[in-house]
Amino acid sequence: MLVWTKSGKAIVWVAFAVVFCVLVLAPFLVVIAAAFAGSWNGMLPSDPTADHLRQALSGDELASLSVSLQTAFMGGLLAVVFGTWGAMAAAGTRLARVADALHHLPIAVPSVVVGLGLLVAFSRQPILLNGTKWIVVIAHLVLMVAFSYGTVAAALQRIDPSYADVAASLGASPARVLWQVRLPMLLPAIASAAGLSVALSMGEVGATIMVYPASWRTLPVSIFALTDRGQAFVAAAEAVVLLATTVVLVLILDRLRGRAAER
Amino acid sequence: MAVEALSATVVVSNERRRDGKWLWALPPLLLIAVLVVYPLVLVAAESVPAWGGVIESAEFRDALVRTVQIAVSSTIGCLLVGTFLAVVISFVPFPGARVVAGLVDTMLALPSFLVALSFTFIYGTTGILRAGGFLTSPWAVVLAEVTFYTPFVMRPLLAAMSRLPRAQLDVAASLGAGPWRVLRQIVLPEVRPALVAGGSLTLLLTLNEFGIVLFLGAKGTTTLPMLVHTKGIVMFDYPGACVIAVVQIALSLGLYAVLRMALGGRRARLD
């Protein structure tokens, strides 16, 4: 198509392999390798061990995993509910542009600033949330709403609104149209919004590190604390725990999406 | 007659629904207003007394320059690497190219600090390359951001390239154009909107990047988001942190808007 000679293709592929592996793939593989290495003083890791992983799955570190999961579920699920609601309600109205801009604000602004805003706003009357887990959940909710809204709004543009109109003209009540026509048609998009929200929530660090109380430390915050104390190998093991959990959650939500798309 | 009556009811019910829609759209907007807009307004208000002191400090100016330098270098790097990888996947396909494209999609959802964490093992004082000085330089941040954000450039490019008719390339080649010329005169003009969209999104995200800078933790590479964290959390100087937050918002949104206007193309979706 572009390169016609055999040798030309070979050169391009080798260059691709080198760039892709070294620049894009290597960092992720290195973290996984380090998680299972006793030491790393040369090209390859040495002294294979599962100690770091054991450490990453006990005590405070295990508590962090549970905190992260709870935060991702509460923040992520609320985000999907409000994102879907916002996208469906705004579609086709004069509010659509305002809603679009408002919902994209949290991702256009740095997450640290979103965190600072919550800290400033909710450390004072009338709403005091600083020091509780709810400020962390709210931070995740705010950031993930933007992605859920975007995913559902994009899906709405591809869906023919006449199905809902036909159902309504045949006498279905608005509630029935919502539950039996509009939401089922959006289910694949909602499931993929949920997957994205959970994955991003599990790895969120900027806003969380601004607002978290000592009693509610998410996985990325613990990983940072470990690297800060020089325990890079345990940090790598905990990062692997984070990666594995995220992949499992996303795969589960992906299966839901597949099932929804089949119907 | 019956048909007219029926369509009249439909119109009426549609009208009523449109009136209801207004109210229906309010709760989610209210949520954003209370949880995003209200805090940002307070940040702006809180910043007022601290402006003079912060703007004049060398620390702030260094961080501002550093932030823009890192973001611009990273974005250029991502555009170069992303274009190369996308061109090979699309036009010099190899067995497994689909798998690689899928992998790129997955990486978008991973946390950026993983890249910084891996750099400790690759470039750290112990580890593969032992390039001790490199890890604490701004170039380490740039390299980490290129690694992490290249997929953000690749995704729109791969989509645009898959819509490009293969015959165009073949005809150009059969008329004697070499690979470079085909790339420059046919592929690149065609995928320019995707390149602009991916590049401006990457610029926005690299200006805002925090995780990578935090994890690399180099003294010489304080960026604005990092300074917001240091001032807000470590020094408890909320007004100072708020000033930097306001500058950061103006910088990110301003640069993004200027770039979009200058380069044209359709409005990029942030997702």
Confirm if B88 and A16 have CB atoms less than 8 A apart.
yes
**Integer Cα distance of A83 and A77 in angstroms:** 10
Of A122, A202, A206, the CB nearest to B211: A206
Of B37, B166, B225, the CB nearest to A206: B225
**Integer Cα distance of B139 and B149 in angstroms:** 15
H-type helices in B33-137, by residue range? 38-47, 51-56, 58-91, 97-107, 113-123, 132-135
**Integer Cα distance of B129 and A43 in angstroms:** 7
Check residue B163 and give its pLDDT.
87
- ipTM given for this complex: 0.85
Check residue B265 and give its pLDDT.
47
Q: Residue B250: count other Cβ atoms within 10 Å of its Cβ.
A: 10
**Integer Cα distance of B192 and B161 in angstroms:** 10
Contact B32 A246 (CB under 8 A): no
Return the structure tokens found at B139.
Answer: 């170039």
Residue B136 is classified by DSSP as T
HSE-CB at A83 with a 13 A cutoff on CA atoms is: 35
How far CA B43 is from CA of A129, B47, B71, B184, in Å, comes to: 17, 6, 24, 47
**Integer Cα distance of B159 and A64 in angstroms:** 38
- Cβ-Cβ contacts under 8 Å, B24 against chain A: 89
Of B42, B122, B215, the CB nearest to A121: B42
> Where do the domains of chain B lie?
1-31, 51-263
- Cβ-Cβ contacts under 8 Å, A150 against chain B: 269-271
- Cβ-Cβ contacts under 8 Å, B253 against chain A: 108-109
CATH architecture of A53-262: Orthogonal Bundle (1.10)
Contact B28 A168 (CB under 8 A): no
pLDDT tens digits along A75-132:
988 999 999 998 888 887 777 788 888 888 888 889 999 999 999 888 877 777 787 8
Contact A2 B119 (CB under 8 A): no
- Sorted by sequence, the CB contacts under 8 Å of residue A206 that are 6+ apart come out as A110, A111, A112, A114, A115, B210, B211, B225
What percentage of chain A carries pLDDT values higher than 90?
27
Three-state SS for B6?
A: helix
User: What superfamily does domain B51-263 belong to in CATH?
Assistant: MetI-like (1.10.3720.10)
Give the chain A residue whose CA is nearest to the CA of B89: A16
The size of chain A, in residues, is 263
- Cα end-to-end distance, chain B, whole Å: 49
Contact B229 A103 (CB under 8 A): no
pLDDT tens digits along A182-230:
888 888 889 888 988 999 999 999 999 999 998 899 999 999 998 888 8
- What is the reported pTM? 0.85
Per-residue pLDDT of chain B (271 residues; tens, 9 = 90+): 444 444 444 444 444 455 566 777 788 888 888 888 999 999 898 888 878 888 888 888 989 999 999 999 999 999 999 999 999 998 888 888 888 888 887 788 888 999 988 888 888 766 677 666 777 788 889 999 999 999 999 989 998 998 888 888 888 888 888 888 888 888 898 898 899 889 988 999 999 999 999 988 766 688 999 999 988 888 888 888 999 999 999 988 887 777 767 665 444 444 3
**Integer Cα distance of B109 and A243 in angstroms:** 10
> Where do the domains of chain A lie?
6-48, 53-262
Confirm if B181 and A2 have CB atoms less than 8 A apart.
no
Burial of A178 (0-12, 13-18, 19+ CB in 10 A): middle
Check residue B148 and give its pLDDT.
92
Return the structure tokens found at A154.
Answer: 């994009």
- Cβ-Cβ contacts under 8 Å, B27 against chain A: 85
SS (H, E, C) A48-113: ECCHHHHHHCCHHHHHHHHHHHHHHHHHHHHHHHHHHHHHHHHCCCCCHHHHHHHHHHHHHCCHHH
**By the CB < 8 Å criterion, does A23 face chain B?**
yes
**By the CB < 8 Å criterion, does A177 face chain B?**
no
- Sorted by sequence, the CB contacts under 8 Å of residue B191 that are 6+ apart come out as B157, B160, B161, B164
Of B18, B38, B269, the CB nearest to A121: B38
Distance from CA of B115 to the nearest CA of A (A): 5
Size of the A and B interface in Cβ pairs below 8 Å: 273
